[in-house]
Amino acid sequence: MALNESDVGGPERDPGLEQLYARARLEEPPRELDQAIRAAARREAHARPHALGARLRRWTLPVSVAAVVVLSVSIVTLMREEGAGRLEEGFSPAPEQPVGAAPAPASGAKQKAVESAEVPQPALPPGRAPATLSATERTSEERRDAPVAGQVRPTERITGDVRREAVAEDKKRPKRQEDPSGLGATATLPEARPARALPAPAATLQRVPVEAESDSAGKRDLAKSEGSLTDDQFNELLNKLEKAPPEIWLEKIAALRREGNSRTADELLSRFRRRFPDYPLPDAERSRGH
């Protein structure tokens, strides 16, 4: 039954053949087989109506997509709210804690329990055990130690000695206004202990220097921080040295070093190097790494 290529070039359907074949399709699976398969299907459906694995598999993709979308929207929203500058600041190294600044406020009962265990009670009069305090004295002590709303109590997280100092300071302060109604702790006046101001977040964050800013400006800022020449003084000095020979520049730099203005001297030296690149530096400056 060899066929030529032309014989198979026709369409993939033949209505006449299909009609004839449809008439011949009489075979059916046995009824017993049908019943057995249907029964197995029902058993399986009732045995594991909600397979956990199948449910998890079904939800894997939607949950993943939803998580990605939520994350993306959150990041975009955050960037809009915070701004690019704020994000840039977020990558700067953590600023040093200012000396004497209040640590983060303690939170939670557990933290308080630890603190109360660490902090010794204030000195009592000799011969009096803590249990012998009268009710009014205890109330007074508790009131004194009770945190005022909005107040940060750094002494709670430091050592017992510092805590004792704080208690002593409290005693030196003018006596707080007594509660005329006798309501006890609920009548504690906030003004009795003024809240210590926390450093503002903007003050604690330090801006990361950007390369676009001029190098000299940054160095002048450093010089100013050391108490050296101000901008105006420095500019005035530069104007004076504008037409001076290199020897005068070096003398001035040496004078600045003697005075302890090393930052300004460095800055002036860099100007000098730019202005007189071929002029040999004295040994003292060369030994400094210039």
Residues near other proteins (CB under 8 A):
1, 3, 7-10, 12-14, 16-18, 20-25, 27-30, 33-34, 36-38, 40-42, 44-46, 48-51, 53-54, 57
At closest approach, how far in Å is the CB of 79 from other proteins? 37
Nearer to other proteins, 9 or 108 (CB): 9
Is 142:185 a contact under the CB 8 Å cutoff? yes
Nearer to other proteins, 49 or 125 (CB): 49
Nearer to other proteins, 3 or 210 (CB): 3
At closest approach, how far in Å is the CB of 43 from other proteins? 9
The Cα-based distances of 11 to 1, 120, 237 in angstroms read 19, 99, 98
| Of 170, 209, 16, 198, the residue nearest 219 (C-alpha) | 209
Nearer to other proteins, 44 or 213 (CB): 44
Nearer to other proteins, 11 or 100 (CB): 11
Helix, strand, or coil here: 275?
helix
At closest approach, how far in Å is the CB of 36 from other proteins? 7
| Of 217, 285, 223, the residue nearest 253 (C-alpha) | 285
Q: Which amino acid is present at 8?
A: V
Is 102:213 a contact under the CB 8 Å cutoff? no
At closest approach, how far in Å is the CB of 67 from other proteins? 20
Length reported for the chain? 290
What CA–CA distance (Å, rounded) separates 38 from 105?
68
At closest approach, how far in Å is the CB of 56 from other proteins? 11
